[in-house]
Structure 1
């Protein structure tokens, strides 16, 4: 059975090439082998697809190709054994529906003002004229929003504790020492909390204990009027009509918080970089924002077409998630003319799809206008994955991204500290800006001084 073409060198060499420069590696693979590439992991073929028609086949053929949760077991360190990534079938479908209640519709609209308020509160702590690294500031904004949406915590000791624990987890995982040790033999051994792996496991245990306590206390003081994700899950029934266990509720809370703090912060930081690197983009965006007047309604902000185009182009050029979650071929199936045997792993390559010149002319150039000129299909533009594993928080992430950017740009005049191009760095699933994007606030914009206090959120 003939598989799609691919490199024949050892997989460990490919891993080194990918780690050194993942984007150059994927660009080279696309140029040499096309839009369907096979990488052999021992006897298992892993096939990466960046052809929209092939991606459609993968997402829509749910009989021969399954989005098996067993393929995501490596993420259990952060998501628990019963997190949304590890579930399958009707259970997975049921839990997705439960989680999405807090991230869509009127609930999402109600927290728009709160997002603007939090953004302004955190950014105003920066000193005018003093350089700062944007990524950790944005991460504080997005993690604070995520904790409110998911846990319903807004202030106080427990709010500060859980924020500290997740910040520590992010910082530890992204540290150069941890990244180095994961690449060498015995580097991931747990040698106690003074070793990188041991400290990460210690933080995991602390987070789990915190959430265990929070779930138990919330159950004992059940309040059906609350509108956070934790409250939804406490009162929710599973596919058999039974209430979810405390352990399952805990695990389901993890992925949304991690995504809120990590992936959203990455996308917004990249947006700040591109907007301030290209004056034409910044000026057009400011003109569009100014057209709404002072204190615009958040729902009017998110409807702005150029702001939407900028956010989409940010997610296209360096998607925070480079690949979709893997799929498993359960029985022989044809994909793009190749007959694939059972046991084959299929992965949609988001980055390479977003770099196709037939879809996105001059793909290395940041051009938001392309999203004003054309409507792309979910198989051509897929920053949040697709099919049954599409990110449950994708719509909320865009909503949040627009409001955070609008609040920053409307209230502050920022500039990049360095004019050197920002280099992407791959870590886990995400493509971070390597320097974190160094910026400074030149001044506050005049309209901030004239504006009225923002309304409080509804959490």
Structure 2
């Protein structure tokens, strides 16, 4: 029997401001050092002004947190992302409003609906890859961002106004590039610096232009009253809650904005990491090609996505460097025991995805890229959770994972590529996520 401890979990002793700077500039080093010294649960006051912010990486504790959402724990609004996604985004809602919004958003992201985008993803990958000439060095993340942005724009809106589509594509890419360095990303963690004279001002101006285009699209689609489309906006316009109420323009705007921003940025990063690991590991590349070739040239996208080794490669890529290293926070609702500690109401608890994914008892030689891990055993949602867990699990998981597999399969099976860099790729902060520091530079050798 575990003896309940009266003290709160300990953590790094450096001043909060210095810990926050470490968290912004070298988050993996910060977590590795703290995890090694303090174990499965430690205090890391690096994101907000809360004095007790716990990072948790033990699967048993994570199961307790995720299965007690709304009971012992609540999922408070994500104030960090609120300036980006707005007041009505699913990221910042809690309680009944969050449950209502999640229920309205779920149908467009059902697995069967997502499969209708399979051929679109393959065609867009071809279209973008054909722009790369033999002998050319290109940045995988930039290329993946172009593919994923087109996929999300098509799946969210459909193409009704090509001019508006092109404007949105350019503005969103420019807007998110404002956070491509740790310095500008650090503005998210220091709200006092979110001023117009900082890079934040450029972000806000671009965001306003994107918002105008989204509102214009919503107004036109309401007037058209065409419910025949398969895009997400069409489905959301006709969605109603349990009381028969549709989503307001403001709710639609913030949810569409969230899908556009989060839906393409994270997927692009995941694809870039997968390409890096495949072309850095000749054995992995050969095994993957053998599996892809076994389907033939005209394979159905759904059949491609079901391939076991391809799936394992993508899972291992998401494990070793998860795009998001933490789950969204939970707040302790009532006194609760967690890992022998008695936590008090208001304590913030984060599932530490990165440290869980590098537990030696789950993933021996955790920094080695070994897709076979996922063929040898099935990991629980408290051992492998790159899309978060519980009631805050990423709503776009099915589309993101489907797209990641298809883009990787299409590129690997049809093109000969080599890495243009000798040095190992390292993660670097990009907004609240981590992306490859160089973007992964590849050389196009030609078609297979």
Aligned pairs, number? 440
Q: CA distance change for structure 1 residues 180 and 94 in 2, over 3 Å: closer, same or farther?
A: closer
Match of 2:142 in 1: 136
| TM-superposed deviation, 1:153 | 2.5
Match of 1:2 in 2: 7
Match of 2:3 in 1: none
Equivalence map 1:343-358=2 (5 Å): 343-358=346-361
Match of 1:340 in 2: 343
| Pair 1:58 & 2:65 matched | yes
Equivalence map 1:296-307=2 (5 Å): 296-307=299-310
Matched-pair contact (CA < 8 Å) for 2:52–2:348: yes
| TM-superposed deviation, 1:32 | 0.3
TM-score by length of 2: 0.94
Which of 124, 127, 134 in structure 2 is aligned with 1:121? 127
Match of 1:18 in 2: 23
| TM-superposed deviation, 1:262 | 0.5
| TM-superposed deviation, 1:180 | 6.9
Q: CA distance change for structure 1 residues 120 and 441 in 2, over 3 Å: closer, same or farther?
A: same
Equivalence map 1:22-101=2 (5 Å): 22-40=27-45, 44-62=51-69, 63-69=71-77, 72-101=78-107
| TM-superposed deviation, 1:429 | 2.2
Which of 163, 166, 171 in structure 2 is aligned with 1:165? 171
Equivalence map 1:42-441=2 (5 Å): 44-62=51-69, 63-69=71-77, 72-153=78-159, 156-175=162-181, 178-179=184-185, 187-191=193-197, 195-441=198-444
Cα RMSD, aligned residues only: 1.8
Matched-pair contact (CA < 8 Å) for 2:55–2:352: yes
| TM-superposed deviation, 1:185 | 9.9
TM-score by length of 1: 0.92
Looking at structure 1, the residues matched to 252 and 30 of structure 2 have their Cα atoms a distance apart, in angstroms, of 39
Looking at structure 1, the residues matched to 63 and 298 of structure 2 have their Cα atoms a distance apart, in angstroms, of 42
| TM-superposed deviation, 1:74 | 2.5
| CA shift digits 1:331-375 (9 cap, x unpaired) | 111111111001100000000000000000000100000000010
| TM-superposed deviation, 1:68 | 1.8
| TM-superposed deviation, 1:73 | 2.3
Looking at structure 1, the residues matched to 183 and 368 of structure 2 have their Cα atoms a distance apart, in angstroms, of 33
| TM-superposed deviation, 1:184 | 8.3
Deviates most, 79-88 or 365-374:
79-88
Q: CA distance change for structure 1 residues 184 and 108 in 2, over 3 Å: closer, same or farther?
A: closer
Q: CA distance change for structure 1 residues 79 and 116 in 2, over 3 Å: closer, same or farther?
A: same
Q: CA distance change for structure 1 residues 268 and 336 in 2, over 3 Å: closer, same or farther?
A: same
| CA shift digits 1:394-442 (9 cap, x unpaired) | 1111111010011111111011111210111022221100001111110
Secondary structure (helix, strand or coil) at the match of 2:102 reads: helix
Matched-pair contact (CA < 8 Å) for 1:148–1:154: no
Looking at structure 2, the residues matched to 278 and 154 of structure 1 have their Cα atoms a distance apart, in angstroms, of 42
Deviates most, 137-146 or 166-175:
166-175
Match of 1:457 in 2: none
Matched-pair contact (CA < 8 Å) for 1:151–1:229: yes
Q: CA distance change for structure 1 residues 184 and 88 in 2, over 3 Å: closer, same or farther?
A: closer
Looking at structure 2, the residues matched to 182 and 344 of structure 1 have their Cα atoms a distance apart, in angstroms, of 21
| TM-superposed deviation, 1:2 | 1.2
Looking at structure 2, the residues matched to 358 and 176 of structure 1 have their Cα atoms a distance apart, in angstroms, of 32
Looking at structure 1, the residues matched to 104 and 39 of structure 2 have their Cα atoms a distance apart, in angstroms, of 40
| TM-superposed deviation, 1:240 | 2.5
Looking at structure 2, the residues matched to 183 and 341 of structure 1 have their Cα atoms a distance apart, in angstroms, of 25
Secondary structure (helix, strand or coil) at the match of 2:44 reads: strand
Q: What are the ranges of 5 or more consecutive residues in structure 1 without an aligned counterpart? A: 446-459
Matched-pair contact (CA < 8 Å) for 1:91–1:239: no
Secondary structure (helix, strand or coil) at the match of 1:415 reads: strand
Looking at structure 2, the residues matched to 263 and 154 of structure 1 have their Cα atoms a distance apart, in angstroms, of 25
Deviates most, 206-215 or 19-28:
19-28
Looking at structure 1, the residues matched to 111 and 359 of structure 2 have their Cα atoms a distance apart, in angstroms, of 33
Matched-pair contact (CA < 8 Å) for 2:34–2:42: yes
